[in-house]
Amino acid sequence: MRVLGRILKWGAAGLGSLVGIILLAVAIAIQWPSLWFNSKTARWGARQAKKAGFELSWQSDRIHARNLSLLTKRFDIELDQVCFKMEGKTAAVSPVDACFGHLEASATISLKSFPPRVEVLGPVVATRGQATVEPAQFKESPQEKKDSEPFEIPDWIKTARLAPVRVEVDQWKLKIPGQVLTGNLHLRNEDVASGSLWRLKLEESLKKGAAAHQGDLALALRSESGQWKGPWKVSSDARVKFRDGKRARASLQLQQAGEVEVDYQLEGSFKDRDKLAEVDARGRARPDRVQGELRASASNWVKNLPRLSVAGCAYDLRQVTGEGTQERADGRYQLRCPVKVKVPVPPKEGVPDFQLPAEIGATLFADLRSEFFPSAKSPVSGAVSIEVDPVLSPLFRGQGKVAAQVGGVPEEFPDHWQLDTELALSVDVPEFKRFVDLLHSTPWAIPAPLNSLRGKVGFGLRGEADLSGGRVPLFFETDLRSSVQRVSAEARGEMRFTRPAPEKVLASLNLEVLLREIKIVLPRLGLEAPPRLFPDSRVLTRRPEPKKAGENFEFDYRVHIATPPGSPAQLVSNRAKSPVPLHLDLTLAPTSETNSAQASGISGSVRVGEFKLDLFRRDAQVERFQVSLERKRDESKIDGSIRFNYTDYVVRVLLFGQMESPQVKFLSEPPLPEEQIIATLLFGRPIDELDPDQQESVGSMQAALVDQALSLASLYLFASGPIQRVSYDPDAEVFSASFRLGGGTSVSVGADTEQVRSFGVRKRLSRRWSLVTDVERESQRGQERQGQTASAFLEWSYRY
């Protein structure tokens, strides 16, 4: 016990001595802080920091610690040529190398509490600074992100009063891959009446590369309490001027409105020559909700659209409690955004003035759900729609709406996305004439004879689509008329989209066009050959472009054009006594043939109804006439029958075979030889009563018909004129005809071969008179030695 008591006694004495020594040491340290806060301990500390990767050195120092009271100490550090260097040991820490010519820092620390608190921080003066920062990585690793905690100002400094701070970095460098960003930085803190105000002024420039620029940033951070705890008010203004002339400016105002609420106001602009984008967003944000109003505009970014703007665009991004998972809080994003599109007035040169309103409006609605706060990796779902305000102009009226149910991960778009869209659009042209007048002097002028029509035209579409494809029903209606013409038609069909592969889109149009009432006037034709209305497809005016491999968009179409059974389309021509009734049943589809000259995109049939016409200077009745068009042009067939009533007999001209070289058969009741029928048709008289020239014409016509040398159009043209003479060169398969005009003149149509290869040349002067050159055969000239004798005669002949 004694021993124990002695031990306890010595132990208590030792402990008391130790406590006494410690208390004494603490008292000494408190009373004489310069004992532990001096140059030597500072250098010792710097050496220890170097071991931790933070290298700190200076040339000379003046370090003082003073007693302001027993428990209030002031520490002053003054260093010359101070440098610090930090190695980037982890990806999150960037290497820093900085030096200041002079550094002063002071702090007043109160030892009245534990841990001790900083009562006054500063003044801090760092001048003639130079710094180089080389960010090791820009991306955080997921592990580091998970481990990192939000930085919080420790309590022992949070209540410190800020004395003036002045940091001047004359030159800093930020090394990024391939580039060096340089600039200067001035940071000040001042005591102002309403607290403390931090001002940061930063200038930076990038000399090389596409992003070469010069910029400056002014940042003001005000703490109304004059301490680190706020309330805070941040004001920043940044400007960047790029070397290629682009300019950007941004201004951000943040005002702490509560413990976790911030009022914000962001204004920004970007200018690239005449392109200008401006944005103004203001509202309130808190950790679980961001709401505000956006005003933005973009000028001259889209061709022919001078300005696109949104104003009063309300958005509300908020966390929806109780609906998310434990890991991810659910967010709801709502948007109601009026959009205005400014229409160019006056229009660009060459572009007609469609008399559109100065602005076309639309409203964008969105109600989306996603992770809060959203990221490109978080799934999004909800509804988005655009409603176009009704467009009213003197020329047309139009309105439209597109609504979509969306769902997917933004960064994966369009893969795995749902985009179920409904769209509706309608455009009406109430007065077609105005449209005609408007377009008259433009490259899109409505051509004659349609430009004489009056009435209205309507177009619309309504349908659904998604990313795997879509179906958009559309319609088109016209109700146009002029004094003679009429174009009343309606088209209904649908446009389909499919995506057989992610990068490939197939579009197809299927349209049914019903020509309810069509009456069109053809140009007035003369007896001469009809002019070429379309370029000859055999002549290529530009080199054929090979189809690009891997084209991602393919368009297919099928347009069916038909006339109602009892209402054929009518063609009015000066070469027909009455309108030609056409029953159409045609299908237009793209040609798959490589040689487009041999293939046509049109198939179906054109049937001419019964009508009277003037053929061969007689009344004729078309009993039937049908053209069956095939995709391969040379397989297109005709089948027709034209009846001529004579006193004693009926003549029928049958047309059949290929459309481009039809076969013609002449039949009569009672039966007559074919040449007799042709003679009657061509010249109105039996062949016996024709002069030799006319008889030859009958033969030529017969030969040309046998050779199928006459196209349908040529046949009609020849048949509808007063034929005087017909000639046909079988070698060249060239048919020509002379028509008798008034006043004893005639006009020749077709390539007029003069049969220079024939035996003898005969030039008809009148019905029986000809000019003839002849080479007589030797055998008929008896004994004349040189039997081949040429002669030229004025010949009168009579065949009987």
Site for another protein in 425-444 (CB under 8 A): 439-444
129-137, 162-170, 507-515, 781-789 -> range binding another protein (CB under 8 A): 781-789
Considering only 80, 140, 261, 528, the residue that binds another protein (CB under 8 A) is 528
73-81, 88-96, 260-268, 727-735 -> range binding another protein (CB under 8 A): 727-735
Is the distance from CB of 219 to CB of 203 less than 8 angstroms? no
Minimum gap (Å) between residue 355 Cβ and another protein = 19
Q: What token pair was written down for 681? A: 């048709």
Minimum gap (Å) between residue 539 Cβ and another protein = 5
Query: Which letter, b or e, does each residue of 127-142 get, where b requires 16 or more Cβ atoms within 10 Å of its Cβ?
Result: eebbbbbeeeeeeeee
End-to-end CA distance of the chain: 176
Minimum gap (Å) between residue 782 Cβ and another protein = 5
Q: Give the residue with the Cβ less far from another protein, 531 or 743.
A: 531
Is residue 540 near another protein by the rule CB under 8 A? yes
Chain residues 170-229 in contact with another protein, contact rule CB under 8 A? none
Residue from 323, 430, 427, 337 nearest 371 by CA: 323
Name the burial class of residue 563, with classes exposed (0-12), middle (13-18) and buried (19+) by CB atoms within 10 angstroms of its CB.
buried
Minimum gap (Å) between residue 526 Cβ and another protein = 5
94-102, 117-125, 386-394, 537-545 -> range binding another protein (CB under 8 A): 537-545
Is residue 675 near another protein by the rule CB under 8 A? yes
Considering only 703, 740, 741, 746, the residue that binds another protein (CB under 8 A) is 703
Minimum gap (Å) between residue 594 Cβ and another protein = 11
Is the distance from CB of 295 to CB of 279 less than 8 angstroms? yes
Q: Give the residue with the Cβ less far from another protein, 112 or 799.
A: 799
Chain residues 87-106 in contact with another protein, contact rule CB under 8 A? none
Minimum gap (Å) between residue 702 Cβ and another protein = 6
Q: Give the residue with the Cβ less far from another protein, 425 or 571.
A: 571
Q: Give the residue with the Cβ less far from another protein, 123 or 760.
A: 760
Phi, psi of 437 (to 5 degrees): -65, -40
Is residue 546 near another protein by the rule CB under 8 A? no
58-66, 359-367, 405-413, 688-696 -> range binding another protein (CB under 8 A): 688-696
Is residue 152 near another protein by the rule CB under 8 A? no
33-41, 140-148, 517-525, 599-607 -> range binding another protein (CB under 8 A): 517-525
Is residue 749 near another protein by the rule CB under 8 A? no
Minimum gap (Å) between residue 743 Cβ and another protein = 16
Considering only 542, 549, 592, 594, the residue that binds another protein (CB under 8 A) is 542
- Name the one residue in this structure whose structure tokens are 């019905």: 767
Contacts of 376 (CB under 8 A, 6+ apart): 409, 410, 411
Beta bridge partners, 734, equal 729
Minimum gap (Å) between residue 431 Cβ and another protein = 17
Is residue 275 near another protein by the rule CB under 8 A? no
Considering only 259, 274, 327, 536, the residue that binds another protein (CB under 8 A) is 536
Is residue 448 near another protein by the rule CB under 8 A? yes
- Name the one residue in this structure whose structure tokens are 């049109």: 602
Is the distance from CB of 355 to CB of 393 less than 8 angstroms? yes
Minimum gap (Å) between residue 739 Cβ and another protein = 13
Minimum gap (Å) between residue 480 Cβ and another protein = 12
Q: What token pair was written down for 680? A: 């009657």
Contacts of 319 (CB under 8 A, 6+ apart): 287, 288, 289, 329, 330, 331, 372
Q: How many angstroms separate the CA atoms of 319 and 311, rounded?
A: 25
Contacts of 586 (CB under 8 A, 6+ apart): 560, 561, 562, 602, 603, 604, 605, 606, 629
- Name the one residue in this structure whose structure tokens are 């109304």: 224
Is residue 25 near another protein by the rule CB under 8 A? no
Is residue 773 near another protein by the rule CB under 8 A? yes
Sign of CA dihedral 295, 300, 305, 306: positive
Chain residues 474-493 in contact with another protein, contact rule CB under 8 A? 482-485
Q: Give the residue with the Cβ less far from another protein, 210 or 756.
A: 756
Is residue 451 near another protein by the rule CB under 8 A? yes
Q: Give the residue with the Cβ less far from another protein, 2 or 785.
A: 785
Minimum gap (Å) between residue 590 Cβ and another protein = 20
Q: How many CB atoms lie within 10 A of CB 206?
A: 21
51-59, 276-284, 507-515, 690-698 -> range binding another protein (CB under 8 A): 690-698
Q: Give the rounded distance of the alpha carbon of 169 from its chain centre.
A: 48
Helix (H, G, I), strand (E, B) or coil at 766: coil
Contacts of 143 (CB under 8 A, 6+ apart): none
Region class of 576: left (phi > 0), else alpha (psi between -120 and 50), else beta: beta
CA distances from 561 to 94, 433, 472, 606, 626 (A): 72, 25, 19, 11, 16
Considering only 447, 546, 565, 670, the residue that binds another protein (CB under 8 A) is 447
Q: Give the residue with the Cβ less far from another protein, 103 or 438.
A: 438
Q: How many angstroms separate the CA atoms of 771 and 759, rounded?
A: 14
Beta bridge partners, 504, equal 501
Beta bridge partners, 133, equal 96, 174
Chain residues 560-589 in contact with another protein, contact rule CB under 8 A? 572-574
Is the distance from CB of 560 to CB of 515 less than 8 angstroms? no
Is the distance from CB of 790 to CB of 773 less than 8 angstroms? yes
Is residue 525 near another protein by the rule CB under 8 A? yes
Is residue 610 near another protein by the rule CB under 8 A? no
Residue from 191, 168, 171, 190 nearest 182 by CA: 171
Considering only 77, 298, 404, 698, the residue that binds another protein (CB under 8 A) is 698
- The 626-665 site mask, x for binding another protein (CB under 8 A), equals ----------------------------------------
Number of residues that bind another protein (CB under 8 A): 94
Q: Give the residue with the Cβ less far from another protein, 3 or 539.
A: 539
Minimum gap (Å) between residue 538 Cβ and another protein = 5
Helix (H, G, I), strand (E, B) or coil at 416: coil
